Amino acid sequence: MRIASVHTHVLEAALSQPFAYSRAWYGTRMAMLVEIETDTGLTGWGECYGPAWMTEAVVRNVAPWLVGQDPLRTEHLWQDIYARLRDHGQKGLVIEGLSGIDIALWDIKGKHFGAPVHQLMGGPLRTEVRAYATGLYRRESGDPLQYLPEEAAGYVAEGFHAVKLKVGFGVAEDVAVTRAVREAIGPEVALMVDANHAYDAVAAIRLGRLIEPLDIGWFEEPVPPEDLAGYRAVKAALDIPIAGGECEFTRLGFRDLLATQALDIVQPDTCAAGGLSECKKIADMSAAFGVRYNPHVWGTGIGIAASLQLLAVVPTHTPTSLNPLEPILEFDRTEHPIRQAILRQPIEHDRGTVRIPDGPGLGIEIDREALARFKVN
Ligand code: CA
């Protein structure tokens, strides 16, 4: 079996209502999908996290190196692409492009052997995962002290055991909305906060101390990803677990986060940090360092399916026992017209729990009509 062609698909959809996190407004959602065809007729799908037009350029330029190669040699192809671009692409867009390629190759591998990816990565440690609701973004109008608690209560009513709130809008405002959301969801539901690296260590510690009494599950990206000393300072100052890693890449990047004990929870994005091949290695490294692994997930159903395949084989956070702490799925609840539309069978939750697809490959089928509807290139 040989790779016959590599196609990129840039998709875009307008949102009915823009929403914001600490650094930008979203008016549309975009996606960059990778489709790899083999000479035996198998097709694999992957997704790249990151600016769609830029990751598209990476994959389009890497594509000629893949044509004619054996798609089952996922490790060889990963290392070959990485080595060819090492001098210019150890992090960022190149690795995001490589991630989508690697996921598509694993999808082919699974289809070739008639098994889900997680079966080929060691077999499932679990068949379903609990999901937490990612939402609670800012809107153009209305009072966040009113609409955020209402939205959070809605997730609890749907059955979610945990919700994540966007912070990074100023310490005083963050404290007020965090308190309002905690009051709305009650003491039993986990509440995490995510600053999207809006703060420096001084401000992050100040915020953390003020919200510590509200029982915060984790404080995500308190400081910029390059500021490992800042991460360590925040981690040392607070009792709240510190999370991050959606802007870090490959086992080599995570080696530094882990070895310097910068974080309590790492969050590599499977569609950015190096794909399924690399994220399995990062997950095993994290377990060796006693650091929890909960993937960052922010994409279409392809990215969600890839994350679920990996989550099936991520070790438990606490050592095996009668009641181990399991990794959880980030389940994006914001508007994304493309997310489920491109799947023949949407990946949904049932009272906050998501089943891991067990069909061949990623376990999903692509709706090509929906794909064509959103395609801008
Ligand atoms: Ca985040």
Domain co-membership, 124 together with 44: no
Per residue in 117-141, pLDDT tens?
Answer: 999 999 999 999 999 999 999 999 9
Position 13 scores a pLDDT of 98
Handedness of CA 191, 197, 198, 203 (dihedral sign): positive
Residue 124 is given by DSSP the state: -
Task: Output the CA 269–ligand 1 centroid distance in Å.
Answer: 10
Domain co-membership, 63 together with 159: no
Distance CA 63, CA 210 (A): 50
Query: Confidence class of residue 8 from pLDDT cuts 50, 70 and 90?
Result: very high
In a domain, 365, yes or no: no
Here the CATH number for the domain that contains residue 189 is: 3.20.20.120
Structural domain tally of the chain?
2
Task: Output the CA 197–ligand 1 centroid distance in Å.
Answer: 9
Query: Confidence class of residue 233 from pLDDT cuts 50, 70 and 90?
Result: very high
- Three-state secondary structure call for residue 311: helix
Question: Is pLDDT of 377 > 90?
Answer: no
In a domain, 369, yes or no: no
Instruction: Name which of 247, 274, 277, 361 is nearest 99 in CA terms.
Output: 274
Task: Output the CA 221–ligand 1 centroid distance in Å.
Answer: 7
Instruction: Name which of 332, 334, 338 is nearest 138 in CA terms.
Output: 334
Distance CA 116, CA 106 (A): 9
Instruction: Give the residue from 76, 93, 114 where a domain finishes.
Output: 114
Residue 261 is given by DSSP the state: T
Position 5 scores a pLDDT of 98
Domain co-membership, 155 together with 291: yes
Question: Is pLDDT of 260 > 80?
Answer: yes
In a domain, 272, yes or no: yes
Domain co-membership, 97 together with 164: no
Question: Is pLDDT of 321 > 90?
Answer: no
Find all residues with CB under 8 Å of 265, minimum gap 6, and list them. Answer: 218, 241, 242, 243, 244, 291, 292, 293, 294
Report whether 46 contacts 101 (CB < 8 A): yes
Report whether 219 contacts 241 (CB < 8 A): yes
Handedness of CA 18, 248, 131, 176 (dihedral sign): negative
Domain co-membership, 72 together with 126: no
Which residues constitute the domain of residue 25? 3-114
Chain centre distance of CA 325: 19
Token pair for 85: 């671009």
Domain co-membership, 108 together with 213: no
In a domain, 375, yes or no: no
Distance CA 258, CA 290 (A): 9
* Chain mean pLDDT for the chain: 97
Domain co-membership, 165 together with 249: yes
> Catalytic positions, please?
296
Kindly report which listed range (83-87, 280-284, 321-325, 327-331) carries the lowest average pLDDT score: 321-325
Report whether 113 contacts 62 (CB < 8 A): no
Domain co-membership, 73 together with 11: yes
Cα torsion for 69, 101, 287, 294, to the nearest 10°?
-160
| Residues lying with their CB under 5 A of ligand 1, a single-atom ion | 194
Position 319 scores a pLDDT of 85
* Percentage above 90 pLDDT, the chain: 98
Instruction: Name which of 289, 295, 238, 239 is nearest 266 in CA terms.
Output: 295
CA distances 27 to 11, 21, 142, 336, 337, Å, are 14, 12, 17, 11, 12
Domain co-membership, 75 together with 219: no
Question: Is pLDDT of 320 > 80?
Answer: no
Instruction: Name which of 26, 19, 29 is nearest 338 in CA terms.
Output: 29
Position 35 scores a pLDDT of 98
Q: Taking residues 11-19, what's their average pLDDT?
A: 96
Per residue in 38-75, pLDDT tens?
Answer: 999 999 999 999 999 999 999 999 999 999 999 999 99
In a domain, 280, yes or no: yes
Task: Output the CA 72–ligand 1 centroid distance in Å.
Answer: 32
Report whether 118 contacts 312 (CB < 8 A): yes
Domain co-membership, 104 together with 163: no
Residue 221 is given by DSSP the state: -
Please calculate the CA angle 295-298-302 and round it to the nearest 5 degrees: 90
Instruction: Name which of 25, 24, 43, 26 is nearest 35 in CA terms.
Output: 43
- Three-state secondary structure call for residue 198: coil
* Percentage above 70 pLDDT, the chain: 100
In a domain, 270, yes or no: yes
Query: Confidence class of residue 322 from pLDDT cuts 50, 70 and 90?
Result: confident
Task: Output the CA 115–ligand 1 centroid distance in Å.
Answer: 31
Domain co-membership, 45 together with 156: no
In a domain, 337, yes or no: yes
Here the CATH number for the domain that contains residue 55 is: 3.30.390.10
Share of the chain residues as helix, strand and coil, in percent rounded to the nearest 5? 40, 20, 40
Task: Output the CA 117–ligand 1 centroid distance in Å.
Answer: 26
Domain co-membership, 27 together with 164: no
Instruction: Give the residue from 114, 143, 172 where a domain finishes.
Output: 114
In a domain, 376, yes or no: no
How big is the chain by its Cα radius of gyration, in Å? 20
Question: Is pLDDT of 291 > 90?
Answer: yes
Instruction: Give the residue from 64, 87, 114 where a domain finishes.
Output: 114
- Three-state secondary structure call for residue 239: coil
Q: Taking residues 162-166, what's their average pLDDT?
A: 98
